[in-house]
Each structure stands twice: as structure tokens, then as C-alpha cells.
Amino acid sequence: MPVKVLYVEDEPFLGQIVKESLESRDFVVTMLADGLAVGKAFLECMPDICVLDVMLPGKDGFSIAREIRQHDADVPIIFVTAKNQTDDVLQGFRSGGNDYLRKPFSMEELIVRMQNLIRLSAPSNGKSPDAIAIGEYRFLPLLYELRLRQHVRKLSHRESTLLRYLSDARNTTVHRKDILLKLWGDDSFFNSRNLDVYITKLRDYLKEDPSVSIITIKGVGYQFTVTA
């Protein structure tokens, strides 16, 4: 089945280049230039992935992502923007984004990032258990949920995939570079900073159970330990 892409970009020349490049590789692209039209288009085309510019007429990309998340908690979202300030990056992830690509970018990089997110969001065909025990927590990767007794925390796509990666390698040392290449597609400084943010968030989510910890191995990576 061809991958359906919702692409929102208000620069006509760039938009046409990206659209034609994606279509030449068998993606099915719905392209819009006005943020106000995205909500209706999303429900009509039900895309497999969204690529959103941040600065748009009518409604910015962050607002669009929050609107999309009200309808679909799982569809991957990539922001494409000339902005590169840390606050802008964090705002993008808080609004529901899974990845962030700065202009100018190569089509090859965009496609690799898209394919990576699509692969990570694909169903696991029943090979993974419905729930993974992490100390007192129960992690449901297919539902993007982390449960502790009656409390249910909804995870973002990136949080869920990172937690799954660490959990699968529990009580062993995982290298930062391996995490970055597996989940982000490259080990740039920019993505390394993003990894730091997500590690901090996961530590906060897991703090209620002292038997669970994410230990930093300086200069190497992390060790996800469960002692219970």
C-alpha cells in the first residue's frame, strides 16, 4: 500500500519540488498551503504521516499538530522549518511532533526520516506482548501508554519508541549513538539534545518506582535498570 502524506507548505516553489519528489517515490501526497484548511483535509485523507511547515498563513504548524493529536494520537508528525532555537524545537515536540527538520534540507534526509517514523509506528504483528512489565509499571507500546495502578499516562510516539528501546535492552549499557541512529536516523548534535530531553521526561514518568532507573554512563550512553 502506498504511504499517504499530508504535506503543508506555503512556499510554492519548495512545496512543488517536495511534492513531486515524494510522488516520484510512490508516496501519495496531499499538499496544502493554508493552515486553516488542514483539519478538514486530515479527516478526509487520513494520512500515514504529516509533514508540516511551522510558519503558515491562517494557523501555524504547532497549532495544526495539536489539532491533529485530538483526532489521532499516533500518526507521525515531522516539522519542517527555518527556526532552530531550542525553545522552538521543544515547543514542536510538546505540540505532538515526532521529528524536526531544519531548512534547507535534502530530500534524501526527509525521506529517510519519514521512513524511519513510519517503520517505528507500524504494528508489530503480534510479536510484542500487549503489556511489558517495568517494575511496578505496565507499558503498553501499541497503545502508547504507561500505567501505574489506576494512573494511565499517554506517551508520544517518540517517548514510546525510546522507552521500548531501553526496556528491550534493560540492565545492559546502550550507546547514545546507537539510540540516535535507530530512533532519529542520525547522531547530530541537534538530535543528541533532543535525546537528552526525552531521557529527562522518561525519568520523570518512572520516578514513582525506585526500582526503575535510567543511569547515564558518561561518554557512552545509558543503562536502563529494573531491580525489582
Cell of residue 100, nine digits: 524536526
Are 32 and 18 contacting, i.e. CB atoms less than 8 angstroms apart?
Answer: no
* pTM (global) more than 0.85: no
Q: Is the pLDDT of residue 168 over 50?
A: yes
Q: Which residue has the cell 524511519?
A: 116
Q: Could you tell me how many residues make up the chain?
A: 228
Beta strands in the chain, from DSSP E residues, in sequence order = 4-8, 28-32, 49-53, 77-81, 99-102, 132-134, 137-140, 145-148, 151-154, 173-175, 212-217, 221-226
What class, spelled out in words, does domain 4-121 have in CATH?
alpha beta
Domain positions in the chain are 4-121, 132-226
Residue 214, SS3?
strand
Instruction: Kindly indicate the confidence band of residue 52, based on its pLDDT and cuts at 50, 70 and 90.
Output: very high
> Can you tell me the mean pLDDT for 146-173?
89
Return the CATH architecture of domain 132-226.
Answer: Orthogonal Bundle (1.10)
> Can you tell me the mean pLDDT for 188-194?
85
Give the model confidence (pLDDT) of 58-111 as tens digits.
Answer: 899 999 999 888 888 788 999 988 766 666 677 778 888 888 888 888 898 899
Give the model confidence (pLDDT) of 21-50 as tens digits.
Answer: 999 988 999 999 998 989 889 988 889 899
Check residue 73 and give its pLDDT. 78
